């Protein structure tokens, strides 16, 4: 006969007394049920491990996003283990009400102590649901930039250009500004050339030359077309060269245009806008 004594919900002392009384009342039958329960736990954990591996393989075959695979399999595994443990405890005959209440009280205490960690978990769930970025994307956030190396439930790891790994807590990451440079297939490269406002400066010629520099590179897209935005200020003329390319070619084209525009400036001996030195001082 299963133990049916009333216990104060969530009271550890009453719960321990309930377990002791249950052992006293059930004797040898209790030992048998415990042995069978342990066997069920062992077999159940092996089955859950098999289910987790099977889920991982199924997700891989269905091309499920690599970010979601470990999270989903972990959640399923934990849920199945909790259900298995509760089922075994109930099979043995120990009332589960007190255990559940105790776990709830312990969970509340741990939750208050680990509020920052829980915030990171909530942030990780938000990131996984709304997907502001994915593995391999190049992002900028909190003054740092890099490729998304891994996404976990507590944190996200990015890899910088100089091959450093930076771990970002998901709590602050989900609540801050994130710039994703990899979302769009095309990106615009901007390179600015500033010259002094001088009679020798022929705006149309410089504009045409800059367009030729960009368009002769095969990475520059024809659509959208390359343009030059001219701004005439007090004593300076700015030529903003704007060329479009594929997202993967951005950094290569940027380096090319910066170098070629500099060489063009030197070759044409264009007047520098910052040559007035010492006019108002020593």
In this structure, what CATH number is given to the domain that contains residue 149? 2.30.30.60
pLDDT at 84: 87
Residue 278 sits at φ, ψ, to 5 deg, of 80, 10
pLDDT at 59: 79
Buried b (16+ CB within 10 A) or exposed e, 45-83: eeebeeebeebeeebeeeeeeebebbbbbeeebeebeee
CATH code of the domain covering residue 228? 3.30.70.100
Query: Do 17 and 108 have their domain in common?
Result: yes
Query: Do 29 and 73 have their domain in common?
Result: yes
DSSP string across 220-237: S-SSSPPEEEEEE-SSEE
Specify if 90 maps to a domain.
Answer: yes
Specify if 36 maps to a domain.
Answer: yes
Query: Do 107 and 18 have their domain in common?
Result: yes
pLDDT at 116: 60
Query: Do 83 and 25 have their domain in common?
Result: yes
Query: Do 76 and 137 have their domain in common?
Result: no
**Quick check: bond before 93 cis, omega within 30?**
no
pTM: 0.56
pLDDT at 83: 86
Specify if 280 maps to a domain.
Answer: no
Tokens 């500099």 belong to residue: 262
Specify if 103 maps to a domain.
Answer: yes
pLDDT of the chain, 282 residues: tens digit per residue = 444 444 444 455 665 666 666 666 666 676 777 888 889 889 999 998 898 888 888 877 877 666 667 777 877 888 888 888 888 877 877 666 666 666 666 666 555 554 566 677 778 778 877 888 888 899 999 889 999 998 877 888 999 988 999 999 888 888 888 999 888 889 999 999 999 988 778 999 999 999 999 999 999 999 999 999 999 988 899 999 999 999 889 989 999 999 999 999 999 988 887 644 433 333
Cα of first residue to Cα of last residue in the chain, in angstroms, is 103
Q: Which of 84, 113, 142 is the last residue of a domain?
A: 113
Specify if 210 maps to a domain.
Answer: yes
Tokens 């710039």 belong to residue: 179
Query: Do 109 and 19 have their domain in common?
Result: yes
Give, as one character, the DSSP assignment of residue 133. -
Query: Do 150 and 221 have their domain in common?
Result: no
pLDDT at 92: 76
Specify if 227 maps to a domain.
Answer: yes
CATH code of the domain covering residue 20? 1.10.287.1260
Q: Is 86 helix (H, G, I), strand (E, B) or coil?
A: helix
Specify if 76 maps to a domain.
Answer: yes
Domain that holds residue 260: 186-268
Query: Do 176 and 190 have their domain in common?
Result: no
Specify if 194 maps to a domain.
Answer: yes
Alpha helices in 114-230 (DSSP H): 115-130, 170-175, 203-215
Query: Do 95 and 19 have their domain in common?
Result: yes
Number of independent structural domains in the chain? 3
Query: Do 205 and 150 have their domain in common?
Result: no
Query: Do 81 and 164 have their domain in common?
Result: no
């Amino acid at each position: 006969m299963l133990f049916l004594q009333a216990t104060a919900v969530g009271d550890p002392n009453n719960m321990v007394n309930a377990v002791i009384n249950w052992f006293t009342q059930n004797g040898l039958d209790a030992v048998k049920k415990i042995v069978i329960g342990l066997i069920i736990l062992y077999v159940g954990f092996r089955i859950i491990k098999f289910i987790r591996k099977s889920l991982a393989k199924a997700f891989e075959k269905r091309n499920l996003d690599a970010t979601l695979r470990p999270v989903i399999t972990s959640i399923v595994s934990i849920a199945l283990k909790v259900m298995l443990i509760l089922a075994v405890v109930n099979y043995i005959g120990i009332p589960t009400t007190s255990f559940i209440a105790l776990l709830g009280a312990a969970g509340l205490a741990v939750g208050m102590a680990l509020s920052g960690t829980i915030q990171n978990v909530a942030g990780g769930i938000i990131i996984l649901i709304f997907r502001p970025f994915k593995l391999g994307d190049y992002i900028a956030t909190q003054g740092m930039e890099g490729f998304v190396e891994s996404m976990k439930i507590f944190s996200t790891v990015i890899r910088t250009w100089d091959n450093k790994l930076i771990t970002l807590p998901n709590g602050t990451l989900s609540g801050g500004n994130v710039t994703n440079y990899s979302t769009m297939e095309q990106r615009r490269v901007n390179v600015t050339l500033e010259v002094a406002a001088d009679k020798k400066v022929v705006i149309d010629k410089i504009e045409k030359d800059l367009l030729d520099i960009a368009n002769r590179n095969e990475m520059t897209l024809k659509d959208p077309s390359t343009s030059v935005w001219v701004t005439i200020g007090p004593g300076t003329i700015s030529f903003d060269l704007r060329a479009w390319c594929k997202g993967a070619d951005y950094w290569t084209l940027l380096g090319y245009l910066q170098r070629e525009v500099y060489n063009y400036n030197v070759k044409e001996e264009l007047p520098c806008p910052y040559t007035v030195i010492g006019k108002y001082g020593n």
